[in-house]
Amino acid sequence: MSRLQVVSGKGGTGKTTVAAALALALAAEGRRTLLVEVEGRQGIAQLFETEALPYEERKIAVAPGGGEVYALAVDAERALLDYLQMFYKLGAAGRALKKLGAIDFATTIAPGVRDVLLTGKVCEAVRRKEKDGSGFVYDHVVMDAPPTGRITRFLNVNDEVAGLAKMGPIHHQAHAVMRVLKSPETAVHLVTLLEEMPVQETADGIAELRAADLPVGNVIVNMVRPQLLDEDAVRAAAGGRRDGIAQALAAAGVAGPEELVGPLLEEAADHAHRVGLEREQREALAKLDVPAYELPLLGGGVDLAGLYRLAKELRRLGVGA
């Protein structure tokens, strides 16, 4: 089982929700997970209905069976200060650099530095051991990562840095991060919807991850709407068949059944059309040769109870196992 679970997806597919539900699912039965946000949107805090996350690991939920979910919002500036202290023992000098604006300059202007710091902090959490050396602090780390269009560059930036810095702490740090990211310890999951654009972006993302030798995990199809009609009814609706509808409505005691036939047929035809388009997208996903799992659309949006429901479904499906 991969210890670092990276969750990406096209904007609007609900990747943060899936990452949060996955962290809950992996924390079941007494395990401990860390859920990490790297984009500064505080989406995790909103989902768990808690205050904004600071730059420190904080317990935000208890999973079924007594497991715990901790969360961390990684801040690039603070991560750079940690890095300077870890490798150069700058301490107060590092804080002085921040006051002078040098830290902000480095994380905003220097190519790749921000992503190196963010991935480095996450991988440090993956490798961190208990003080007595008895085991890892976290059984799993789940990263709510950047969108699919940026995920390969984001994860692979340390490879580029390692090639530029031929020696020294930066070189060794970049190699250490890539050893985690390109190992069986890591799985990169892509969240999509049963729609053409998200599915195509998922296919492109998988191709890019594979080309960079980054480990592809699963495709998670989110917000799947139920199919309300069986296959025979779908075909009948698509063909606009009217036979028996008015009689069935009348038998059910509906007044004015003839007036309802037209609107009902329109709704049924729309449903049949959607089912057909979704079938095409499932076929496209099947060609990617990646395990795909579906999560249901929750009516009224995702609240905390809904998050636990999605986590239960992910456990049932075995996602992340």
Check: CB of residue 229 under 8 Å from CB of residue 218. no
Three-state DSSP at 118 gives helix
**Taking Cα atoms as reference points, which of 213, 212, 231 lies closest to residue 276?**
231
What distance in Å separates the CA atoms of residue 6 and residue 78, rounded to the nearest whole number? Answer: 22
Taking residues 62-80, report their average pLDDT: 85
Model pTM score: 0.84
Q: Is the pLDDT of residue 109 over 50?
A: no
SS (H, E, C) 141-204: EEEECCCHHHHHHHHHHHHHHHHHCCCHHHHHHHHHHHHHHCCCCEEEEEEECCCHHHHHHHHH
Q: CA gyration radius for the chain? A: 24
Q: Is the pLDDT of residue 105 over 50?
A: no
Structure tokens at 129: 């051991």
Q: What is the pLDDT of residue 300?
A: 79
The model's confidence at residue 93, banded by pLDDT at 50, 70 and 90, is very low
- Structure confidence by residue, pLDDT tens digits, 153-178: 999 987 766 554 555 566 677 778 88
Q: What is the pLDDT of residue 241?
A: 55
Q: pLDDT: is 263 or 3 the higher one?
A: 3
Structure tokens at 149: 């269009």
Taking residues 278-296, report their average pLDDT: 96
Average pLDDT, the chain: 81
Taking residues 15-40, report their average pLDDT: 94
Q: What is the pLDDT of residue 159?
A: 72
The model's confidence at residue 97, banded by pLDDT at 50, 70 and 90, is very low
Q: pLDDT: is 20 or 89 the higher one?
A: 20
Q: Is the pLDDT of residue 320 over 80?
A: no
Least confident of 47-51, 61-65, 105-109, 212-216: 105-109
- Structure confidence by residue, pLDDT tens digits, 208-262: 999 999 999 999 999 998 866 666 655 554 555 555 555 554 555 555 556 655 6
Taking residues 299-306, report their average pLDDT: 88
What distance in Å separates the CA atoms of residue 230 and residue 218, rounded to the nearest whole number? Answer: 28
Side-chain-side CA neighbours of residue 91 (13 Å): 2
Q: Is the pLDDT of residue 198 over 80?
A: yes
Structure tokens at 53: 């996350």
